[in-house]
Amino acid sequence: MTLPLPATGRIGIIAAMRDELSAVLNRMPDEHKTRVAGRSFWRGHWHGREVVAVLSRIGKVAAATTATALIERFEVDAIVFTGVAGGLADGVNVGDVVLARSFLQHDMNASPLFAQHEVPLYGKARFETDAALSDTLATAARKVLADPQAALGAAAVAEFGLQAPRVHEGLILSGDRFVATSAESGALRQRLPDGLAVEMEGAAVAQVCHDYGLPFVAMRTISDRADDAAHMDFTRFVEQVASHYSVAMLDAWLAQLATAPDA
């Protein structure tokens, strides 16, 4: 597979949670910190690839600022986003991973001037991720989920019931609110029936990368079902599951990129 990324291409890694970022930094023994726009950007190497890792912060505006700084200040050649999300579609369960093929802002509504969800002046509502890089990330995610105990340990697998986690591929919804009631998640499913998961940052990063013509990929571990039980054990899930998934999948993905032919 030919990838839209040269062998020397620099990758920006945006982590949604501090535990995820800490796990990433543990794989970058030569990392050093630079402060830009009130954020700490960590530069180093992973599988021989130069990477810049940063915490996204919460919400679309904060995530867009982070992505723009990665592009303008650090001149990354691609961005990958990891984090957690609430599952929406049937069968998208806690412990599964959603690989984004596109993003949409579920709270964008400039009607009647524009169609609901359409981003004004873009003529579109959905922003696609890079197909080739997403294919390799999906392969890495499935490799990790084939043996979740290797990444998490038997205790975490048993505690959260992660006996057969799956990778789903498709649309992720983003909005500036935490969807945490059955009524909200039900309304989203009715309005956007192909939405697999919901979170608060990805569509903004996808739009920034679209503007710059930069390859973007993203994956989200499902931490809850975006319903009335969404607050239960969230912190522990991130610590025990999501952060370990993220670093294991990124490790497998970067290893693939190290051996794949470049553009």
Q: Is 184 known to be catalytic?
A: no
| Active-site position among 19, 20, 96, 184 | 20
The DSSP secondary-structure symbol of 120 reads: T
Q: Is 20 known to be catalytic?
A: yes
Identify which of 217, 218, 168 has the alpha carbon closest to the alpha carbon of residue 196. 168
118-154 burial, b if ≥16 CB within 10 A, otherwise e? bbeeeeebbbbbbebbbbbbbbbbbbbbeebeebbee
The DSSP secondary-structure symbol of 199 reads: E
φ, ψ of residue 221 to 5 degrees: the values are: -85, 135
d(CA 103, CA 218): 10
| Active-site position among 19, 130, 169, 224 | 224
Tokens at 188, concatenated: 């989203």
CB neighbours of 81 closer than 8 A, spacing ≥ 6?
A: 14, 16, 56, 201, 202, 205, 216, 217, 218, 219
Catalytic residues: 20, 224
